[in-house]
Every structure is written in structure tokens, then in C-alpha cells.
Amino acid sequence: MKQMKMSNLDLDLFYEKLDNGLEVYIIPKKNCNNTYVTYSTKYGSRDYEFVPLGNKKMKKVPLGVAHFLEHKMFEQEDGTDPFAFFSERGADANANTNYTKTTYLFSGTQFLEENLRYLLEYVEAPFFTDENVEKEKGIIEQEIMMYEDNPYNKAYEGLLYNIFIEDAIKYPIIGTVESVRSITKQDLYECYHTFYHPSNMFVVITGKVEPYEAIKVIKEVEGKRTLVEAKPVEKKKIKEPTEVEKGYEKKKMAVTIPKLSIGYKIPLASFKNVSRRKILHYLMMLFDIKLGPVSLFQEQLKKEGLMSTDFAFDYIDTEDYFVIMLIAETEEPEKVIDLINQELSNLELSETDLNRKRKTVISSFLFMSDNIYSLNEKAMSNVIKYGKVNCDDYEEIKELNISEYQKLIPNINLNNHSTYIIMPKKGK
Amino acid sequence: MEYHKYENVAYHLHTIKTDKFKTVTVKVNFKRKLEKKDITYRNLLADVLLESSSKYPSRREIEIKTEDLYNLFVKSNTYLSGNYMIMSFDCIFLNEAYTEAGMLKESLDFLMEFLFHPNVVQKRFEKSNFKIAKKALEEQLNSLEDNYGRYSMYRLLEEMDKSAPFSFRSIGYLEDLKEINETNLYAYYESVLSSDLVDIFVIGNIDPEKVQQLFLDHFPINTLKKPSMSHYLQPVKPRRIIKTTKEKKEINQSHLLIGCKIDLLSEFEKKYVMQVYNFILGGGTDSKLFHNVRELNSLCYSIHSTYQPTSNLLIIKAGIDASSYKKAVSLVKKELTNMEKGNFEETDIEKAKITYLSAFDELEDSPSSIISTYISHEYLGYDMLEERKKKIHEVTKDMIVSVAKKIHADTVYLLEGGEPDEANEDE
């Protein structure tokens, strides 16, 4: 196992790649009672067109299969219920699916070895029947309804749908009522065998853990498996255009105050000689400083009564784009859009502002490192985006400076954006 | 962990020294007897105090300062706890070992600035910041119905008993807000300083004596307070026939809530038996409700129960399709009856205890959770952690069945979603 210092965080990272391709990342934390273990496949809702294991031709599966599969992994052939297994050992278990990965997890303060072994075993033992697949549809439909009623979720998904053209990130993770109804047992098995191969999966453990003992357990479980060889999964190549699919949409929902959301689709290809991580930091700083609570701009909007709560920011990045979304509650969405775009016509930042932001980024890494859940999330997100857990964030952040930022300004392209407005159904 | 309680004349300072965290967390609680008309005052007051101060006359300047203090985080929370209402300020910052010497004092000074040096002109809160905070609260109250979870909970409690303190809305009321201005809110602020009971909790790798000295020097509250009454409300008699209320709303998913009233319980029942009972019934993804309503009948995505000890209530919540309403209610009732009949296993009890113990170990990893255990000890008379870990083992099946018989379904509330709306006009 390799051991690396995580800079400025008082933590060490242990890493090993097993013979079958499974990657294991362990970050022990001293003075901690709890352990958080995640087992993920690099497979999310976005991967719906690919060459299935053992086939040669590209295939499209219904939207929402990754998430459906996640629900169905809790079905075991011998009838045991993974939730019950963990609960009997005082652990909390769960799973989640996003655009780029699916994660099975538990956290607990006791029985680490037993729980870890079981986590691997149950995720490695799919059991789908026509009957249990049908049964799940009612539950997922209710889950869809829950999201449908949430205006923030609606705005988020609406924006992504309008911003992206080719990339399946435009579709909701959960799929649609129709696509979910069309999912079959065969779809699940095909996706399972293609994407749940150890060479496409990784384990992250944070908290109270002895790395050498944990890796021993993992090797023991993995050593018993017989698997077919697998090459890296061939997914459909996405050529995502710079433009947005649709620049403007208005929808009515049962809300009281209109909700304005704007998303900027910023191409990353034009930035040269600066690392991707740094560019993302600079772009986030730009929006935080220009429009966040430290800005004169936001203060002015509040004084004029145009909005009374802060903008909510959300970021998502794909290989080629950085998308930043902001949501505001305002009675005058059109006016606020104009003001935002006007404000963003000048991208200069002051050195004081940038240096202060840099300090907060360093601090936020320290806060993050105190929480085994955030730490695990960071590690997972790094593995998905960078193929490894970054240990040198501090060095990268420390180097952020105004002159480097200024050189980037000509390449920051904010021309491609989309607006999604949710208006109240009833007049007041 | 090393706990110390300083019983200063006008407030109690609780320090918890531990080297587990890179942060220091400070919580200042102001509490007084619950009065319905005061709730809105307290909500607005907390917001106004964090909107600006004498030294930092706008939110923007406050935000800049929090960034300068290495991303210090400050927030307020106003909530009800049985007979009391609590206004709480939380401040979290990095231990100065990770930033620079002197930051402990500077961070505490910053928190004191909000509490004791508000942006005030001649006994009135400064107009423009007051206006911003008032408008934000007004919008929040106006859009309460957009938050279906919160709204349906308030509605259930009101249907159970509109005059009972447990049904008061913790975020306040629009009609009360209209009455509040810069002057009467300032008067209310002065009364908070002079008559609220105050508890301060500080956790982190700190020197307790130094913290106590900082508070003695900078926390200018010095009126002697009366001893306090209990947080627990008296139990209310349940209805003989269950009351049902339905409210229509243009949403997709319906929200079903079932409110149960609980007879007078012993201290042990409240603090231990109910924890086990609730875990078995609807505590998580391995509960009776989750298995029988969600998994076996595919009726919902979410279902759980919560126990509210200070109000003697048990609330069951589920997100369902309107058409499954009757079936869902009858399944929930069946599970309640099963608990009364003792139709659950010893292994269910064991699981609940293991989860309870594990949750305690886990809680020691979080500064705010540690503070919460001291708060429930101070306010609600809960035992301290080590004691709780021992006593939970004393809970038996007979005890659970006996509390189950004291739990009575009282009110059913349904926020009923309509047909998939075709009038959905997209532009």
C-alpha cells in the first residue's frame, strides 16, 4: 500500500490497486469513533449509451437505469435485507446515484470488518427478478413525484436540460415515469455486468480505521471472486457544442415567490497552461466575489427590494465545461437577469478580494478535513474527476494570485447561458 | 473530554475541552417562557442582529469580516421547546493553531459584536437593514406553503389542538410581523438582555479558564435570573374518534401525517423506552413502517416516525399518492396496533439498542452533537452519555408494550395532491 501526506490537513492517504482492478483509498482520522465506508462504481445516469460487456455494438438503455439498479441492489437472493444487516450492527446504510457514479455506503462505530465484508458481498451479488423489478416501480414513481414538487430541483433539472445538447447530463438522474416503467430485468443485468466490474469500481474509507487490516479484508473478499476479464467500458463519445440548447424558459408551479435561475456554460478548452483545478477555483471566486454576499451588487439588489435572500450557487463540471448556476427569489426576474449580465460584463477582480477568497478556500479544506463524510465525498469526487485523490490541494490553492487570474480573463466566455424562471400559478 | 460549568451570576458558561476537532464551536442560547405573540419578535430579532452591527453596518461588511476570520461561520436559530422558546446563535471557527495567534479572542469579539453592539440609532434599529430583514421574514412567512413538509407539519399540529403550545408556528406569524417596527423590536431586544435565561456552550481545544475570563470581560449581561420551570408540557387528552382533515394542493405527491398523543410517561419511559419504541416503529430503513408500507406495498418513497418528548407527541409522516391514502392509513394503524400487541421480536429490541449505542459513539465525532447532549441534560434532564449507554440496556419488551398502549392515534392530516396537472402552462 502506498502512503501519502495530505498537505496541510494532518492526514495520510493510503492507496492500493488490487489485482482485479479495484482501487482502495483509505484516510484514517485520529480521535474519531466512527468509520464511513463507500463502495462506488464509475457509473451514473449520464452513462446510458455504451458497449455492454461481451458485446461489440453501442447500446442505449432507458433513462434512470443506474438509479433503478441502485434501488434493486438491496434485493438479495437469500432474502436477507442489507438495511437490516447493517442496522443489527448499529450502522447506517444507504446508497445514492448521481450523474457520474453510484455509491453504496455505511457508517458505524462497531463491527467494521463484518460490515465492510458485507458491503462488498452484497453489492457483488445482484438478484433481479421480473417481480422484484416491477415492485420497485411504484416506489420510484413516488420518488419522482417528490422531486417534481420541489421548485429548486425543478429549476436545477430544467436548466441542465436547456444548457446541454448532447450530454446525457441534461436528463434527470432518476429518469422519467415512462422510462422507469420500461426498465426490465435484462437492462439491469446488462448494466450491472458492464459497470460493476472491479476495474470500474473503488472503495473509500474515512475515519476510525487501521488501513492494513481493512485492505486485508478487502483482498480476502475480492480474492474469492471469479470474473471475466474486462476492458475499460466503451461509452459513447460526447461532442458537446458550446451553445446552449435553449436560452430561456418560463414555467408555472405552485410557488408563492417567482424563482429565477441562470446557468452559464463556460468552455474549459480555451484555458491553457493553468491546471484545471485552479481554473475551477478562479471561476468560483469570480462569481462569489461579483455576485455573492460580499458584493456591492447583492447589497444593492437587496436595498432596492429586488430580492431579500442570497443567491444560491451551484456548480457542475464535465470534461469540457464548467457550469455555474445561480438561483434567486425575486418578484422581478427579468430585471434581475439584466442587472446580473451587466455586472458580469466586467470580469476584473481586486487583489484584496481574491487574496481574501484564497484564505477562505484554504480554511474550507481544513473544515472539510474534520468531518469524515465531507472527506470521503472529496475523495470520491476526486477519483471521478481526476482518477486519484489529490493530496496537494493546499499547494495549488496557495499559488492562486491576481496576475494569473488576470491572464485568464480574455478566455472566460460567459456568452452561453440559459435562464429558467418559475412563476406562481395563481395571482395574488 | 473535560467538561466545566461556570455558574456566573447572569448566565451559565459550559466549556468542553477536547483535542478531537480543528474547530471551536460556540453556542449562545437565550430562552424564556413561550408566548405566542413573542415568537415572531424573536425570529425577526435574530435576523436583524445578524444583518448588521454598529461596527459592520451592512451584511456585506459582515461577510467580508467572516472571510477575514478564516471563514468563520455564524447563524441563528429560533425554535420552540415545550414551555420555552429559544433563540440560539452558533459560531464556528478554526482553532487558532491552524490560523494565527489571537484568533480565539477576535472571533469571540466578533460574535459579541452582533449580540451587544447592534446597529441602533436612538433606541431604534437602523432603518434600511431592519427593512431588509423584515422583508426576508415576510417572504418566508408568505411562502410557507411552498415548503410542503414544514407546512403540513404545522397544519397537523394545529388540527390536533390549536390552542396547545406545541402547535404554535416556530417561524412566527404574518399578522404579528406587521406590528413590529424598529422601536418595539429594540425594546424587545432590551428585555431579552435583561430577562432571558442564558446558556453558553464552547467546545474545542481551548483553555477553559481563558474562555471564562473572555466572557467575564466581554459578555455584558449581569441581571440575576429566576429559577426556571420545566420544559415538558402536560399531556393532552386524545380524541375518542380520530379526526381527519384533508387539504387540496396542486402538487404531485400527497403528504400524509398521523399525529398521536401520548399519556403521561415516566422519566425512564420518556428518555429510554420511547427511543427504542420509535426506532422499531419508524426510526429508519429497517423499521416496521418502512418494511410494511414502503417495501411490501410499494406505497411510498419516504416514511418515518418522530417522537417529540416535550410535547408528548409521536408523528408519522409519509409521502404517498393520493389514491393510496386509505390503504396507507390502515397499514400505519395496523403497525401501531402490532406494537401494542407486542408483535415484534427481541431481535428488534437488540437492533434498536445497538443503533442507540452506535449513535452515541458517532455523536462524539461532532461538536454540535456533543453540545446537544449537554443541552438535553441541562434543559430536559436527560442523563449524560455514559449513564445513557448503561440505562438503555434496562429497556424490556414489556416496557415497550406498556408505552405502546399509552400512544393514541388522534389526528390524520392529508395535504392532497391533485391529478397530474394538465393546466401546466409552459411558455
Task: Summarize pLDDT for A57-70 with one digit per residue, the tens.
Answer: 999 999 999 999 99
Q: Do A359 and B424 touch (CB under 8 A)?
A: no
Rounded to 5 degrees, φ, ψ at B247 are -135, 135
Which A residues 150-189 touch B at CB under 8 Å? 151
Q: pLDDT band at A146, cuts 50/70/90?
A: confident
Q: Do A143 and B301 touch (CB under 8 A)?
A: yes
B381 to chain A nearest CA, in Å? 26
Q: For residues B240-257, give the mean pLDDT.
A: 93
Q: Do B143 and A257 touch (CB under 8 A)?
A: yes
Report d(CA A11, CA A31) in Å as an integer. Answer: 12
Q: Which of A363, A372, A425, A428 to mutate to test the interface with B (most CBs of B within 10 A)?
A: A363
Q: Do B67 and A151 touch (CB under 8 A)?
A: no
List the single residue in A with minimal CA-CA distance to B253.
A145
Which B residues 196-225 touch A at CB under 8 Å? none
CATH architecture of A2-223: 2-Layer Sandwich (3.30)
- Residues in chain B with CB shorter than 8 Å from the CB of A32 are 20, 365
What is the end-to-end Cα distance of chain B in Å, rounded? 60
CATH classification for the domain delimited by B2-218, as one of 3.40.50.2000, 3.30.830.10, 3.40.190.10, 3.40.50.300:
3.30.830.10
Q: What is the ipTM of this complex?
A: 0.91
Taking CB atoms and an 8 Å cut-off, how many pairs form between chains A and B?
Answer: 169
Which B residues 114-153 touch A at CB under 8 Å? 128, 132, 135-136, 139, 142-143, 145-146, 148
Report d(CA B203, CA A61) in Å as an integer. Answer: 52
- The helix/strand/coil state of A105 is strand
Give residue B419's pLDDT. 57
- The DSSP secondary-structure symbol of B348 reads H
- Residues in chain A with CB shorter than 8 Å from the CB of B252 are 145, 148-149
B228 to chain A nearest CA, in Å? 36
Report d(CA B91, CA B103) in Å as an integer. Answer: 13
Report d(CA A25, CA B121) in Å as an integer. Answer: 57
Give residue A428's pLDDT. 44
A366 to chain B nearest CA, in Å? 7
Task: Summarize pLDDT for B4-47 with one digit per residue, the tens.
Answer: 999 988 899 999 999 999 999 999 999 999 999 999 999 999 99
* More confident site: B331 or B296: B331
- Cβ burial, residue A403 (10 Å; 0-12/13-18/19+): exposed
Q: For residues B356-360, give the mean pLDDT.
A: 90
Report d(CA B62, CA B262) in Å as an integer. Answer: 46
Report d(CA A309, CA A329) in Å as an integer. Answer: 7
| Same-fold call for A2-223 versus A248-424 | yes
Nearest to B139 by CA among A130, A310, A86: A310
Task: Summarize pLDDT for A289-341 with one digit per residue, the tens.
Answer: 999 999 999 999 999 999 989 999 999 999 999 999 999 999 999 999 999 99
Is the confidence at residue B116, as pLDDT, over 70?
yes
Q: Do A294 and B64 touch (CB under 8 A)?
A: yes
List the single residue in B with minimal CA-CA distance to A31.
B20
Q: Do B362 and A145 touch (CB under 8 A)?
A: no
Give residue B146's pLDDT. 87
CATH architecture of A248-424: 2-Layer Sandwich (3.30)
Q: Do A294 and B285 touch (CB under 8 A)?
A: no
- Residues in chain A with CB shorter than 8 Å from the CB of B320 are 142
B58 to chain A nearest CA, in Å? 8
C-alpha cell at A309: 435572500
Q: Which of A30, A68, A145 to mutate to test the interface with B (most CBs of B within 10 A)?
A: A145
- Residues in chain B with CB shorter than 8 Å from the CB of A33 are 361-362, 364-365
- Residues in chain B with CB shorter than 8 Å from the CB of A135 are 298
Contact predicate B388/A121, CB 8 Å: no
Q: For residues B133-144, give the mean pLDDT.
A: 94
Report d(CA A199, CA A23) in Å as an integer. Answer: 8
Q: Which of B298, B348, B393 to mutate to test the interface with A (most CBs of A within 10 A)?
A: B298
Q: Which of A114, A149, A290, A356 to mutate to test the interface with B (most CBs of B within 10 A)?
A: A149
User: In chain B, which segments carry CATH 3.30.830.10?
Assistant: 2-218, 243-417
B352 to chain A nearest CA, in Å? 8
Q: Do A145 and B68 touch (CB under 8 A)?
A: no
- Residues in chain B with CB shorter than 8 Å from the CB of A372 are 365
- The helix/strand/coil state of B27 is strand
Q: How many percent of chain B have pLDDT more than 70?
A: 97
- Is the domain B243-417 a CATH 3.30.830.10 member? yes
Give residue B426's pLDDT. 38
Residues of A known to be catalytic: 70
What are the structural domain ranges in chain A?
2-223, 248-424
**Cβ count near B306 (within 10 Å):** 13
Q: Do A367 and B22 touch (CB under 8 A)?
A: yes
- The DSSP secondary-structure symbol of A231 reads P
Pairing state between β B124-125 and B120-121: antiparallel
Q: How many percent of chain A have pLDDT more than 70?
A: 100
Task: Summarize pLDDT for A94-124 with one digit per residue, the tens.
Answer: 999 999 999 999 999 999 999 999 999 999 9
Give residue B227's pLDDT. 66
Q: pLDDT band at A427, cuts 50/70/90?
A: low
